């Protein structure tokens, strides 16, 4: 057994990030004790660490934050994005540059360190996150083990074996692990400054959202435009969905390899496409739609994770700054005739949106709901609602770019 502790008189380093290639990065542990094996990605957002860590799309991932100061505004119960916090859907690990300080914000209800412990997230601080980011950019997102032990003692050889042995995210269906256990109705509307969340009591239309790992703010933006939302588990059949008589269908974000989730999701979506009901997809939902119409997906080198990504909407000619969180992408070359590429990343040219010719169906790779991030793409929710209203013979909402 190989144990590692700090020498006499030196700072005790109580955390380790061990990469599959054997690289060991030591730091100061915080959050939960123990270890977690996952893929490491970096996120460039300046704000919104609580929303990031509770986004179910980060399941089986360790998030390295490039912004150095994380935790200084604390945490609260309003900025959680997963539907069921008890299930702890979201990141399993976190890496910070600076130590977490006491919170200084009027909305803070708890210290980040204590919250990480309750969520079971293993974290570490005090490392050179710039060097880790450069490593990921050069070599791709590595498999790794993050470990935290109060005595600073680790069996590094065993941690290296665990990291090297993990198969990674390719071929892994994680939507089944984070999806809702049963159907439920969502009525909460978007947060308003100093007022909190509203509630939709008089909906004008009904949307069924297939939950592959949905974020709360997506649901809020639909209800805020007048909708009732019924959230259903990822493996719900097309027959059961249609029995709910939806006016619109939503395909949610989520984690894992889209090709693996597509084994059960694609047949359902293909059945729904035949109905003419408007469909909107985000992130994994976008990838599921692309697979359903004959496209393919690929694993990305470093992924897109942050809140400063430029995307061009070809339907308007405008460039938006958006929030991103994905390690797989739709291969634009695989899209068949009748499928239009509507959005593209201006960082690397990768596909960020599609629509189906002659059908009220579209999807985007990025996160127009933000949380965290800019709200440039909120108009996409109005676009979806207007497709619903058009099918019902009702006048359109004014679309805001």
In the DSSP assignment, the letter for residue 332 is: G
Nearest-angstrom CA–CA distance, 371 and 373: 6
Residue in 39, 51, 189, 369 annotated catalytic: 369
Nearest-angstrom CA–CA distance, 239 and 144: 41
Residue in 41, 81, 283, 343 annotated catalytic: 283
Token couple for 91: 């990141």
Is 367 one of the annotated active-site residues of the chain?
yes
Q: Could you tell me which of 79, 75, 119, 80 has the C-alpha nearest to residue 100? A: 75
Beta strands 279-282; 361-364: pairing state: parallel
Cα angle for residues 276, 278, 284 (degrees, 5° grid) = 120
b/e burial code for range 230-245 (CB count within 10 A of at least 16 → b)? bbbbbebebeebeeee
Nearest-angstrom CA–CA distance, 271 and 258: 18
Nearest-angstrom CA–CA distance, 31 and 152: 14
The DSSP line for 221-288 is HHHHTTEEEEEEETT--HHHHHTT--SEEEE----S-HHHHHHHHHHHHHHHHTTT--EEEETHHHHH
Q: Could you tell me which of 197, 251, 204, 192 has the C-alpha nearest to residue 228? A: 204
Distance, CA of 219 to chain centre: 14
Residue in 305, 326, 366, 367 annotated catalytic: 367
Q: Could you tell me which of 160, 174, 151 has the C-alpha nearest to residue 252? A: 174
Give the number of C-alpha atoms closer than 13 A to the C-alpha of residue 214, restricted to the C-beta side: 28
Contact 348, 236 (CB under 8 A): no
Residues β-bridged to residue 218: none
Token couple for 22: 């054997």
Is 304 one of the annotated active-site residues of the chain?
no
Residue matched to tokens 């269906």 = 173
Active-site positions read 283, 367, 369
């Amino acid at each position: 057994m190989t144990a590692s502790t700090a020498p006499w008189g030196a700072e005790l380093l109580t955390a380790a990030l061990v990469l599959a290639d054997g690289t060991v990065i030591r730091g100061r542990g915080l959050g939960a004790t123990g270890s977690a094996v996952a893929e490491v990605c970096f996120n460039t957002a300046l704000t919104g660490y609580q929303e990031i860590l509770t986004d179910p799309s980060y399941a089986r991932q360790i998030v390295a934050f490039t912004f150095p100061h994380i935790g200084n505004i604390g945490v609260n119960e309003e900025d959680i994005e997963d539907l069921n916090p008890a299930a702890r859907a979201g990141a399993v690990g976190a890496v910070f540059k600076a130590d977490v300080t006491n919170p200084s914000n009027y909305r803070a209800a708890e210290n980040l360190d204590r919250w990480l412990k309750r969520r079971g997230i293993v974290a570490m601080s005090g490392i050179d996150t710039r060097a880790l980011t450069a490593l990921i950019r050069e070599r791709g997102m590595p498999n790794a083990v993050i470990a935290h032990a109060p005595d600073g003692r680790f069996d590094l050889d065993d941690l290296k074996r665990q990291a090297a042995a993990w198969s990674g995210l390719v071929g892994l269906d994680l939507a089944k692990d984070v999806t809702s256990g049963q159907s439920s109705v969502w009525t909460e509307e978007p947060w308003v400054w100093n007022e909190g969340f509203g509630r939709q009591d008089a909906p004008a239309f009904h949307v069924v959202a297939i939950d592959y790992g949905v974020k709360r703010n997506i649901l809020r933006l639909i209800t805020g435009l007048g909708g009732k939302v019924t959230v259903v588990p990822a493996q719900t059949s097309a027959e059961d969905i249609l029995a709910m008589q939806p006016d619109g269908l939503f395909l949610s974000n989520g984690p894992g390899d889209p090709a693996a989730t597509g084994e059960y999701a694609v047949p359902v979506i293909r059945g729904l496409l035949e109905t003419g009901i408007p469909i909107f997809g985000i992130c994994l939902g976008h990838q599921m739609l692309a697979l359903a119409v004959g496209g393919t997906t690929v694993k990305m080198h470093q992924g897109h994770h942050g809140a400063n990504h430029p995307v061009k909407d070809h339907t308007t000619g405008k460039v938006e700054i958006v929030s991103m969180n994905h390690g797989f992408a739709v291969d634009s070359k695989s899209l068949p005739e009748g499928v239009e590429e509507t959005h593209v990343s201006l960082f690397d040219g990768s596909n960020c949106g599609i629509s189906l010719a002659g059908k009220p169906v579209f999807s985007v790779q990025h996160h127009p709901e933000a949380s965290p991030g800019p709200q440039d793409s909120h108009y996409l929710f109005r676009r979806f609602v207007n497709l619903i209203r058009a099918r019902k013979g009702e006048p359109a909402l004014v679309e805001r770019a």
